[in-house]
Structure 1
Amino acid sequence: MVFGLTVSSSWGNGHATLWRGLIRALTAAGHHVTFVEKDVPWYRHKRDVHDLPGGRLLLYTDWAEALAARRDLLDADALIVTSYCPDAVAATALIEAEGQGVRLFYDLDTPVTLARLAAGETVDYLPPHGLGGFDLVLSYTGGPALDALRDRLGARAAAPLYGHVDPGTHHPAPPRAMFRGDLSYLGTYAADRQPTVERLFVAPAGRAPEQRFVLGGSSYPADFPWQPNIHFMDHVGPADHPAFFCSSRLTLNVTRADMAAMGWCPSGRLFEAAACGAPIVSDSWPGLERFFTPGEEILLAAEADDVLAALALGDGELRRIADAARARVLAEHSSAARAAELVRLIEAARAPAQAAA
């Protein structure tokens, strides 16, 4: 059972696609997942999933509705609360008081969480007493983030549960004329990501006017520094991601600033693009080599010159890099692999939790 941000709408967030792949893999392995989501207007009007095959999507308008269903909800082997869940604090109190299964918190935004705390901000999805009431805290980010979750937020145990990709959804696809380009970039606008986007996407576009640059994503402001050869499309839905990635010679990955600074934070877009067989050029961050081998499975860029050099590579070299990345992702970073990892982590946390009870 999961109290989360959203699984029903992929608009402007990365949580939904990750949960869809994970839930699909868990149900294929014989597990049943209930996802509890607050029915907020922003996602209600942009919903692209209305049910979970093999699972259950429970939408509620206020917390009283969720409480009314708690007997059904709390009868689960594992109870998960996630970052950015609108009622995370209430859900935490509920499972701490009445939950019988393993209690987990899954922070899919750990560097953002820690940066907000360091800035003195209130993080409304964290319980006031910290994370010590959970049997296990999962983090989308590994490395030093795990120490911070223990030292700063009181997690009794912390483990990474990285991003992943569902090969049934993200796979090589025929290119489409509307997405064709030399370099593509897919991502929701984020102010902290913007300097890197300008350095690795906008600047190369300005220096290569004869090439076509394609940007897909929502929430881009009117004052974005558009170039004549940047072609924009607002919100590319998950069903169109394979065609988007496969329609350009090279696709760019840009990591949010807090995540890049902390490291060990592979974005879902990285795995999605690789599973689609797209050659990737990415910004760099500590720990990236744990997921892809630079120069063999991914190209790295710090400045516009690096991106232009990547674009100058021959098609055969780009294909070799893309094929190596796809093989790596299918072997290590599929949703099925991550679902099996989640089950192992829950089982490992179960024994200490039962002993404490």
Structure 2
Amino acid sequence: MSSHGLRIAFFGASLVSAWWNGAAMYYRGLLRALHARGHQITFYEPALPERQRRRDLPVAPDWATVVVYSVEGTGGLERCLEEARDADVVVKASNVGFRDDWLDARVLELKSGRTQVVYWDLDAPVTLERMAGNPEDAFRALVPRYDRVFTQGGGDPVVLAYRDLGARECVPIYSAVDPDVHQPVLAEQRLDCDLALLEDRLPDLERRVESFFLRAADLLPDKRFLLGGEGWGDRPRPSNVRYVGCVPPRDCNALRCSARSVLDISRDGMARFGFSPAPRLFEAAGAGACLITDAWEGIELFLEPGRECLVAQDGLEVAEAVLCLTDDGVRELGQAARRRVLAEHTYAHRALQVERALGLG
């Protein structure tokens, strides 16, 4: 393996489309930072029609080569695998959305003395709970065969669980902020509100959105709440909750800078395991937003409760935070969060971690 620029072949959901693809900003931040350090990235993604129609990167970025393969049969994917054979590092991410189980096994055939193969789990708590509940799960037998497992979060509980399954090495590479993308901008009147939530509707998130966000809106009928994300159109909600639908990445900074405060909510499994901050937590902090987050173990490793964010146990505490925030408090929390993530939690920091884990430096 070259000790300078690595050739990295990355099989993921989509680099060019954030539509129903919560990993898009994580992929982009990390791979852009790795490219800046001299590595050559080829990203292989399936030609899923709806996703490709809704690209928010209309042209491929200059920091990665994007190869979109056909989802008619496996011929296109076979050609990508053959091309990836020359890479120094082959990454298979979870939740690609096309032939995942098949691809989990096939990438292992690319292992050689000069090519290491990594499984990158973007949903480690969910994956581990699935395997714990099914001793016959096909992925169990594959775990020990990967050179290493990277996870988007989960901390020591996830590392220990993967090691128990025979993983040679498990390294959390947390979400972060790309300061060139997520930054303070001018507020926009159309997005003005007391509390904003930006999340796509997912089965393992909906109950928590109900408990933390919609409950807070019920308790504060005089406050204005704004909900952005895919899939909430037919969801009953209090009359003071305005639904704005999909918020394209280019508008996310404006939403976070226009809201008086921004709520971040973890998915069920992530909250149970802890140590799993979502990309949106860091993106909001990077924009200087005043953050309220649901309670999960490990938050203080990323932001200091009470100084850089507010932590709520339920919708009542979210409502109390919204009521008690002063103008000075909003500004100070947002500025402190931004300082912290720029100092410790950028994708440039994460790229260094990836290099160390891959045996460089």
Partner of 1:173: 185
1:154-194 residue CA offsets vs partner (Å, 9 max, x unmatched): 21111111111211111001111221100000001123322
**Residue aligning to 2:158:** 145
Corresponding letter in the other structure for 1:26: L
Report how many aligned residue pairs link the two structures.
345
Q: Is the 8 A contact 1:205 1:211 kept in 2?
A: yes
The 5-angstrom pairing of residues 128-139 of structure 1 reads: 129-139=141-151
Structure 1 equivalent of residue 175 of structure 2: 163
Mapping 1:13-32, distance limit 5 Å: 13-32=21-40
Distance 2:315 2:76 in 1: 52
Matches within 5 A, 1:265-304: 265-304=276-315
| Cα distance, 1:301 vs structure 2 | 0.8
1:82 matched to 2:82? The reply is: no
- Residue 235 of structure 1 is matched in structure 2 by 246
Matched, 1:210 2:218: no
The residue type paired with residue 106 of structure 1 is W
Q: Is the CA contact (8 Å cut-off) linking 2:217 and 2:319 kept in structure 1?
A: no
Q: Quick check: 1:137–1:159 contact (8 Å CA) kept in 2?
A: yes
Matched, 1:315 2:327: yes
From 64, 67, 71, the equivalent of 1:55 is: 64
Q: Give the aligned partner of residue 116 of structure 2.
A: 102
Question: Structure 1 residues 83-92 or 128-137, which shifts more?
Answer: 83-92
Give the Å deviation of 1:235: 1.0
1:12 Cα deviation after fit: 1.5
Q: CA RMSD in A?
A: 1.9
Please report the TM-score for the alignment, with normalisation by the length of structure 2.
0.90
Distance 1:193 1:171 in 2: 26
Q: Tell me which amino acid in the other structure corresponds to 1:307.
A: V
Q: Could you tell me how far apart the structure 1 residues matched to 2:189 and 2:351 are?
A: 35
Q: How does 1:242-281 map to 2 (within 5 A)?
A: 242-281=253-292
Secondary structure of 2:358 counterpart: helix
Could you say what secondary structure the match of 2:204 adopts?
A: coil
Q: Which residue of 2 aligns with 1:42?
A: 50
1:355 alignment partner in structure 2: none
- Give the letter aligned to residue 70 of structure 2: T
2:162 maps to amino acid: L
The structural deviation recorded for 1:313 is 1.7
Give the deviation of 1:333 after TM superposition: 1.2
CA distance in 1 between counterparts of 2:53 and 2:80 reads 25
Contact 1:21 1:166 in 2 (8 A): yes
- Say if 1:121 and 1:297 are closer, same or farther in 2 by CA, change over 3 A: farther
Shift in Å, 1:134: 1.1
| Contact preservation (8 Å) 1:3, 1:88 | no
Over 3 Å counting, the alpha-carbon distance change for 1:268 and 1:122 in structure 2 is farther
Letter in 1 for 2:172: P
C-alpha displacement of 1:34: 0.4
TM-score (norm 1): 0.91
Q: For residues 122 and 249 of structure 1, do their structure 2 counterparts lie closer, same or farther at Cα, with a shift above 3 Å needed?
A: farther
* Distance 1:32-1:281 versus aligned 2 partners, 3 A rule: same
The whole-number CA distance in structure 1 between the counterparts of 2:218 and 2:319 is 11
Q: Write the deviation string for residues 5-40 of structure 1: whole angstroms up to 9, x where unpaired.
A: 221210112111111111211112211100011111
Contact 1:143-1:263 at 8 Å conserved across structures: no
1:130–1:155 Cα contact (<8 Å) kept: no
**Distance in 2, Cα, partners of 1:245 & 1:121:** 43
Over 3 Å counting, the alpha-carbon distance change for 1:317 and 1:109 in structure 2 is same
Shift of 1:279: 0.6
How far residue 110 of structure 1 moved from its aligned partner, in angstroms, is: 0.4
Distance between the aligned counterparts of 1:298 and 1:48, measured in 2? Answer: 30
Q: Distance in 2 between matches of 1:258 and 1:185?
A: 19
Residue type matched to 2:13 in 1?
A: L
Distance 1:17 1:131 in 2: 26
Q: Aligned partners of 1:114 and 1:289: how far apart in 2?
A: 24
* Cα distance in structure 2, aligned partners of 1:11 and 1:200: 24
Aligned-residue identity in percent? 34
Sort the Cα spacing of 1:24 and 1:344 in 2 relative to 1 into closer, same or farther, 3 A. same
- 2:343 aligned residue: 331
Which of 106, 113, 137 is residue 127 of structure 2 equivalent to? 113
Cα 1:59–1:229 shift into 2, 3 Å: same
State the match for 1:73 in structure 2.
84
Give the Cα separation in 2 of the matches to 1:202 and 1:60. 40
Q: Is the 8 A contact 2:18 2:24 kept in 1?
A: yes
- Of the candidates 190, 197, 200, which is equivalent to residue 185 of structure 1? 197
